[in-house]
Structure formats: structure tokens, C-alpha cells
A and B are shown apart, each in its own frame.
Chain A
Amino acid sequence: MTFSLLPAFRLLGILVAIAVSIFAPAAYAQSQPDPLKIAMVLWRGETNVEQGFRAYFDENSIAVDLTIYDTARDLSRVPAIIDQIRKDPPDLVYTWGTGITSAVVGKYDAVDPVQNITDLPVVYVMVSSPWKTGIAAPAGQSRPNVTGAAHIAPLPAQINAIRAYRPMDKLGVVYNSREDNSVSNVADLTELGREMGFEVLAAPLGSNGEPSQDDIPPAVAELARKGADILYIGPDNFIGNYRDTLTDAGFANGLAAFSATELEVRDGHAMLGLVSRYELVGRLAASKVEQILIDGISPADIPVETLDRFSYLIRLSSARKLKLYPPLSLLDYAEVIE
């Protein structure tokens, strides 16, 4: 039996050798894959998040072809951008912030295949409350094409960070009542206040149409009059746009500002913040892109995550203006910005 099979094996060997000689160049070509084609829909151009995103691919020698779509803080541009994306479909869509992400992927239970992207994987960043805003599906469910990286520290940790700097019983919040994530954040803070023993003094803007920059100073003055100990800047695009107006109003009224996001301290004048470093958020998002496009894992199987370490930022120039210097013990671990 062995004897009779020998010619058959020999024939098989010859065939394999021929196949290898024919297909080897093609296989070699495939080991140098095309760059990952990623469409990035951004709120206000590139930030440190995108720098971290790019750095991750560079360091891991993953070629990427990034197409930037900047909305320039205008959500009405999103439908047109989606149309453009559909004309030249990328491998994955990257979205920045709650507003853009919500417009691109819709709410988990109200997806419109015409208006929202459903056939491409989407990775979002800088969405402060993905579950509250319906961008992420509730626990136990998942979205087939959407995952992302959140960036906000848990609210109790934020309150403890404020209290590590100075005592706080009344937290003043100026926010845009037309932004879902701001409204839900203020509701969460109010509930937390009952547990942790502080009162939220809320100053909603935009209850009579779109809010304007001029609404901010009187709102801050009113909070100061009510006895607010500190101003809270949450994940609010409107306040983010006019952060300096808010902090200047704070200085005028002797109120410091705490921020849950990095830029308000690093680029603005908020006195302190407990934040996720934007660059690290970008890297976290990039690792999710790698899992989807290289490892072939479905977005539905990749959890929405936040970083587990946060940076305590102190802007000393603001502290000096208010004569509210940081306690000695904070200087051991805070990042002090002049």
C-alpha cells in the first residue's frame, strides 16, 4: 500500500512547488498592507487627542491614511461630511465629541440608516457620557459598528479633587441647557451632592433660544452672590467655546474654576482640573481601531472604556490671581502649569 501511494505524494509535491512559485510574489505584496483608511470628523480641528492617535500608529509601525473633516464647531456640516464619506468609504470613521458622534451614529435605539453611518465601523472620542446620551447601548447590549473611548473622571473623584484643594459646599455650574450631556451631567451632580454633602447651584443658559457669550458673566455673578465656592466646567461644548469668558467672570467675582476636561486648564484659565490627558485618550482610541481593523474584532465586542488614571492639573497663574494657592500635599502629585 505504501509503495502504491509514493507516486501520488511525489505528484502532490511538484504541484505545491509550482503553486508557491506562482503565488509567492502576490503573497509578499500582501504582507505590505495598504494604509488603514480612516475618516476623522473633528469639532475644532486637530487637538492633542489626534496627536496621541497618530503617535500610537507611528510607534506600532501601522500605516494609516487619515482624512480630516473639520466641522469648525458647526454641527450642521455633519450631514454633508457623511455624504462625502459615503462617496469614498474609508475603513473606519473617527468622531470627536458628543455632538458630532451623535450626529454620525445616532442614538443606539434610534438609528437612521439614511442619516447615520451604519455600514462602517465608528470609533468615537471625547464623549463624556456615552451611556447617558444614548451613543453607547446600555449594559448587556452593544452596537454592531460603534465603540469608543470616554474621557471624564468619575464624578465622585472630581468632587474629591475639588475638596483636596479647598473646602466646597456649594458648586456653581453654568451650562448650556440645550446640550444633552450637560443636562445629564448636572442631574448627576445634583444627585451626587445629596450623597457627598454639597449643593449644586445651577445656572442653565439657552432656555430662551441659543445661548450667547454675553449670558455667561451675569450667570457667574449670580452664582457668586448665592455663595458658590467654585465654578464647575463640565463636558459642555458651549462653555468650552467661551471658557475664558467664564473664567474671567470667575476672577471678577473671586471664584475659581474646576474643569473635568484638560483644555480648560491647559489652554484656558481654569484653576484646577481632574482630567484624562487628551493624548492618552487618543492612544486608547487608536488601540480600539487596531483591534477592529487589524485583529478583526467586531466593534460590538470591544467595550466602551475610559482611562483608569487621571491627571490633577493646577494653573498657578489663576491661583495667584485669586490668592488661592494649592495645599502642599497636592504639589506632590499635581501637574502645575504656570
Chain B
Amino acid sequence: MTLSANPDTKPDTPTSPHGGNIRSRLFPKGTIWILLLFSTISLCIALVGISWRAAELARADLQTEIREKAGIEARVLGEKIENALRLGIPLREIVGFETVVYQLRNGDPDLVFAAITDKAGDILHAGGLSSDEIATALKAPSGNDTAYIVTRLDLPRAEGQDDIEVVLGHARAALMRPVTDNLYDIAIIFIITLALSFELMLLVLTVNVALPVRVARKVLDNVRDRKFTLLHGQSTHDEIGQFMERINSLINTTAKKVGTHPQREREVKLIGVRMLAFMFVLAEELARPIMPAFFSQVTSHSIDGQLGAGVVMAVHLLMVALAMPICSLFQEQVGSLRMYLCGAFLATLGLIGTAFAGGIWDLVLWRALSGIGYATTFVACQSYVLDATNDSNRTQGTAMMVSGIMLADICGPAIGGIVAGHFGPDMTFIAGATIAFLAVLLAFFLMDNMVRGKTPPPIPTRAALRAMLGNRRLQVLILFAAIPAKLILSGFLYYLTPMILLQSGATTAETGRVIMLYGLVAILTGWAAAKWTDKNQNETRAVGIGGGLTAAGLLLAGWLPEYALFAVAVALLGLAQATSIPAQLSASLKLSKDFTKDHGTGPVLAVLRLAERLGGAAGPLLAAGLTLLVGTTHAVLIFGAFAAVSVLCFELLIGHVPPEQKNEGGTK
């Protein structure tokens, strides 16, 4: 969150690739920190308080439940003992008590020990813990602070024989188990709540305070200079708006006297694009954790479910890849707002259709529609940012949009996992569709239809294009870094990870949490990684490191496919992509500097994006094919091996960036 730059609020702040003024650009100044700290602490206190209260309320119910369960278990044990005694087996000669307790513990992990004691309290038979340990536990004073909840059941015996007792000990920690089980969900909801609050606050403050104040300052500066040529045009109906309306009327009066014709001054609400980018990605990412399983289920009537899921996901990504360049061609004519509206509408349709899909063909159709919608909204947001910014704040504008997307990447799967767990996969897609539809409505308010024009990019000649595509080092970058990176991202993170985790018994919420780790790590480490890359001016090295980290994570997950190691692998992938992806962008521009100095960066980026998207489309297909052939775990290993081979080829073939290129890159 804190990485998000806000060009609306500080357009003139100088930037430095080495981070000189970056701190002042990135972090707000003054009392806002105190407010942020105060609101964060308040939220923390509220959530902790609610959780604690919920735990306290649940404790009584859970204690009753555990006591009932313990009662049943004690009766089961008691009946077995009575049966043995009825058969004439002497009490002390009873065999296999430990095994029976072990079997009981298999069905009830909260049960720690069980014992048979005589009236004197001597332990005759023990299971779960040793006799001495049980004796110590039973001697502890009763109360709520002991480690075990002890349950006793009397077993009266025939006359002349001492009565005996079945004693069971359950872990008192079990009382908090439902709360601790939900603790992750609470933590995620906390992070997401903070993130969403931040987004909303940013939007509201920028639109209602920062922009009107900035325009007011311009207008008042204009008045101070006795020009009377500007009117406040940033329409708000609050105190600022009313105040500036009065100033406007004064300017109008004065302008008439001096004979000038003042124009209304307003600024583009660039901040809105952040929310819109956030929403269109969130709509798609909500169902991310359940996609493979849901697609498998829907397509299983027609073809093998796993292959079906791969095909559907590949079609979606392919449509994104194809739609993006096509949308870019028409963006000029259509305009960002209309394009965004079309895209969000298509995404809404696609997501609703997906929720109700009955077979492979309509599912492919709906997902293709979603893909086109996603690509269209993406291009609309990107072009809006490019149109609404100038050279001085373009990087910040792009970073702002990207941070909205990353935030949705983090929140989407986590929220989606929880939604899917409670309401099912179809409702998750419908929730996505609802968000996409809300984006349609919000786009009218958040996206200005008219933005500043910009200089059209120079049209590259065919020879220049050919030369660019023939650049061997660019080819190496695309073939062994850009394509593998996205192929692994979509194949491993979006296909294999949810598939394996769900198959191994993880809940959708747990799966969502693991996928969320990717975005979280990427957003937390992205800035440091980019700073490191900028500082060293060695983008190809960063790309190599990213590839190496990816390979290490995947090989680890494939070697030991456990939940925790998958989380580590996904986190490593997040770090790897945060290191590699921005570096790939810079490296591609550096490697094509002969082309970009004459024809701009557009075509290079278009080629890079297309290659990435094609890699992304191939990922799920490859993952599905490998799953069918060798199983999911081996598929992860093969992906790891592929990553290792790719990074090896990249390192061997890319060569070192000549010093002069480094320097040029450093000043870019």
C-alpha cells in the first residue's frame, strides 16, 4: 500500500532512480501518519476485542461439547472394560487398553489420555500418556487454568469388588481451537480491511480534498498574480466547493472589469483509475483458488476434468493475450471510459455465465468473454493513465495503477477463498460479477471522459521492427525469462497449487491464503527489489536471480509437497517475480535501445507483453497435460526443472550488459 504513488497530490515532486527523493514522494507527510497510526491501532484493538469476546462466548459452548464428547468416549471405554470383566478377564490382566485409547484418539485429536483407576486413585491401565504423567495431571488442582479437562465415569462392580473409574483427559487448548483455526481468516480480513480502507480513504480524500485544493491553489495563485483567467472547475458541493464558487463569482466580476474571459480549471481524477484497476482485477481474482477444481467439475462430463480445467484456463489467458493488442489499436478511437465500460460489462457477463456454466463449451465461451473483458479494462486503464500523465508523473501513474492491481491480487483470492468456503464456487463467480458490474457504475464517476491529449508515438519502419525482433539478446530475454516466468506463474500458481492443496485436504480459505502470499510477498519486496536493481543497474542479473528463486521454490515444493513448503514456494515465486518482472521491462528497453530511441518503447513493450501472455496461456495447458501424464507432484518437479533449465540458458546466452548500456540505463 505504502508503495503506491499518488501523482494527483504531488505532481511536481522530482523523482530519482536512486531513491533520493523517493521517500518524500512515496510517503505522506505530517499528521496523516498519526491519523493512519491511530486508525490502524483502533482497528486492531476492535478486531482483537471482538475475537477475544467471540472466543470467550464460544468457550462455554465448546466446554459443554467437549464434556458431552468425553462422556460418550468414557462410556465406550467403560463398556469395553465391563465386557472384559463379564467374560471373566481379571481387571489387572486386561490387555490392549493403550490400543483402544489410541483408536479413540484417532477419532478425537483433543483426547490426550485415558486411564482406569481404582477408588484409591491408583492407575490400573493407562493410554495416551504414561501412568506417572496421568497421575501428575490428575493430582493438579481443578480449575480453568489446568492443561486438561478431566472427565470421570464410575464403573460400579459386583459386591465384594472395588468400584473403578474411567478417567479421560482432553486438552484445554481445544477450547480455543475453533478460534485459532479462524485466526488466519481474521488476520486476512484485518489486512484486507486495512487495504480497502486505505483505498477508499485515498479515493475520497483525493477527489474531495486534494484535487479541489490543488486547483483552488492554482486559481488563487492566478488571482494573486492579478491575472483573473482561471475559475475553479473541480466541482464539489462541500465547503471547499462553496467557498470556491464565491471566489469564482468574484473572479468573474473582476474579469469583466479588466476585460478577460476566465476558463474553468480542473484536473483529471487520476486516482479513480486505481480503484477501477483494483475492481476489475478483484472481480477476476476472487474465484482464483477454486477455478481449477470448479472447471474440472464442470468439464468432467465431456473430457478428463483436469485437462478440461487446463483448456478453459488457457483459453481465458489466450483471449487476454489476443485482446490486449487489438484493444490497444482501437483505444484511440473508442476512448478510455467507453472501453472500460465495455470491458467491465463483458467481464460481468462472463463471470455470471461461468457461475451457471453447464458444460465445457459454454464454460469456454464465458471464460473467453471474461478474458476479453479483463484485457479491455486493463488496456482502458493503462491508456487512461498514459493519456492523463506527462513525462514527469507517468511512472508514478503507472505505479499507482499497478499497486491497485497488486492489491486486488492479494485480496481477491483470500476473500474468494472465504466466500467459496461459505457460499460455494458459483456464488464466488457471482460475487466477482457483482464487483465487475459495480465497476461499470463507478467508472462514470471515477474516469474523466476527456483527458489531455498526448503526442502519438512514432511509427516504426518495417526494417526497424525486424531489427528489433532479430536482436539476439532480446530473443534470449523473451524466450528464457519472460515466457517461462508467466508460464510458471499461471501453470504453477494458478493451476497446480490450488489443485494440489485442495486435493491434499486444504480448505479453499487455506488455498486462498497460500495464493495470497504471492501477491503479499511481491508487493512487500517489490520496492526493495526494484531499488536494488536500480542501484546496481544490472537488470539481467536481477532477471537471473528471479529465475533461480523460482526454480528453487518449485523444486522444493515438488520434492516435498506439503502445505508449508508450498507456502514457501509460493512466497519465493512472489519474491522471484517481484525481482524479475520489472527488471525484464527495463532490460528489454535497454537491450532494444537502438530501436526505442527512434520509435519509442511501445512496440518493444507490446512484443514483451504478447510473449508473456502467450506464456501465461501455455502454463495451465502444460500443467494439465503433465498432471494427466505424471501426476500433480511430478508436474511441479518438471516445472521446477523447466525453470532451472530456463534460467541456466538465460545466464549462458544473455551475456553481460556492456558498461555503456548500464550508464544509459541508469539515466533513463
Contact = CB atoms under 8 A, between A and B. Distances in A.
B100 A329 contact: yes
Contacts of A320: 88
B408 to A, nearest CB: 54
Nearest to A317: B88
Interface stretch (A13-21, A77-85, A330-338): A330-338
A327 B88 contact: no
B99 A328 contact: yes
Contacts of A121: none
A316 B88 contact: yes
B152 to A, nearest CB: 19
B48 interface: no
A326 interface: yes
Interface residues of B, number: 16
B96 A327 contact: yes
Nearest to A323: B93
A329 B95 CA distance: 9
A131 interface: no
Interface in B73-88: 80-81, 83-84, 87-88
B83 A331 contact: yes
A193 to B, nearest CB: 24
Contact of B95 (A316, A326, A332, A336): A326
A57 interface: no
Contacts of B94: 325, 328
B136 interface: no
B99 A325 contact: no
Contacts of A326: 89, 95-96
B81 to A, nearest CB: 7
A206 to B, nearest CB: 37
A336 B88 CA distance: 11
Interface in A302-330: 316, 320, 323, 325-330
B80 A325 contact: no
B98 to A, nearest CB: 9
B126 to A, nearest CB: 13
A329 B96 contact: yes
B103 interface: yes
A328 B81 contact: yes
B563 interface: no
A325 B100 contact: no
A331 B88 contact: no
Contacts of B99: 327-329
A328 B80 CA distance: 7
A329 B97 CA distance: 8
A300 to B, nearest CB: 42
A332 B100 CA distance: 11
B84 A331 contact: yes
Contacts of A325: 84, 89-90, 93-95
A330 B87 contact: no
Among A316, A325, A328, chain B packs the most CB atoms within 10 A around the CB of: A328
A331 B95 CA distance: 11
Instruction: Identify which of B87, B90, B94 gathers the most chain A CB atoms within 10 Å of its CB.
Output: B87
Contacts of A327: 95-96, 99
Contact of B100 (A316, A328, A336): A328
Interface in B91-144: 93-97, 99-100, 103
A336 B96 contact: no
A320 B93 CA distance: 10
**Contact-size category for A:** 10 to 19
Contacts of B90: 325
Chain B interface main SS type: helix
Given A323-B93, A325-B95, A326-B95, A332 B80 contact: yes
B552 to A, nearest CB: 41
Contacts of A316: 87-89
Given A325-B93, A326-B95, A331 B81 contact: no
B95 A328 contact: yes
B297 to A, nearest CB: 35
B92 to A, nearest CB: 10
A327 B98 CA distance: 10
A331 B87 contact: yes
A337 to B, nearest CB: 10
A320 to B, nearest CB: 7
B88 A328 contact: no
Interface string A70-109: 0000000000000000000000000000000000000000
A328 B87 contact: no
Contacts of A330: 96
A335 to B, nearest CB: 12
B96 to A, nearest CB: 3
B85 to A, nearest CB: 11
Q: Pick from B83, B89, B99, B100 the residue with the most CB of A within 10 Å.
A: B89
A201 to B, nearest CB: 24
Nearest to B93: A325
Contacts of B84: 325, 328, 331
Contacts of A323: 93
Q: Which residue among A316, A323, A330, A331 has the maximum number of chain B CB atoms within 10 Å of its CB?
A: A331
A327 B83 CA distance: 12
A327 B81 CA distance: 11
A316 B83 CA distance: 13
Contact of A331 (B80, B93, B103): B80
A325 B92 CA distance: 11
B87 A336 contact: yes
A328 B93 contact: no
B125 to A, nearest CB: 9
A219 B96 CA distance: 32
A316 B97 CA distance: 18
A331 to B, nearest CB: 6
Nearest to B89: A325
A332 B104 CA distance: 14
Nearest to B103: A329
A329 B100 CA distance: 6
A327 B103 CA distance: 13
A6 to B, nearest CB: 59
Contacts of B81: 328
A327 B84 CA distance: 9
A267 to B, nearest CB: 20
Nearest to B80: A328
A224 to B, nearest CB: 21
Contacts of B95: 325-328
A329 B127 CA distance: 14
Interface in B279-314: none
B124 to A, nearest CB: 13
A333 B6 CA distance: 73
A317 to B, nearest CB: 9
A323 B93 CA distance: 8
Nearest to B81: A328
Nearest to A327: B96
B337 to A, nearest CB: 73
A9 B467 CA distance: 100
A19 B93 CA distance: 80
A61 B651 CA distance: 87
B116 to A, nearest CB: 11
Nearest to A336: B87
Contacts of B87: 316, 331, 336
A25 B82 CA distance: 66
B76 to A, nearest CB: 10
A332 B87 CA distance: 12
A68 B110 CA distance: 62
Nearest to A320: B88
Contacts of A332: 80
Given A327-B99, A328-B81, A328-B95, 13 more contacts: A316-B88, A316-B89, A320-B88, A325-B89, A325-B95, A328-B84, A328-B96, A329-B96, A329-B100, A330-B96, A331-B80, A332-B80, A336-B87
13 contacts: A316-B87, A316-B88, A323-B93, A325-B90, A325-B93, A327-B96, A328-B81, A328-B94, A328-B96, A331-B80, A331-B84, A331-B87, A336-B87
Q: Which 5 pairs show the lowest CB-CB distances between chains A and B?
A: A327-B96, A328-B96, A327-B95, A325-B89, A328-B80
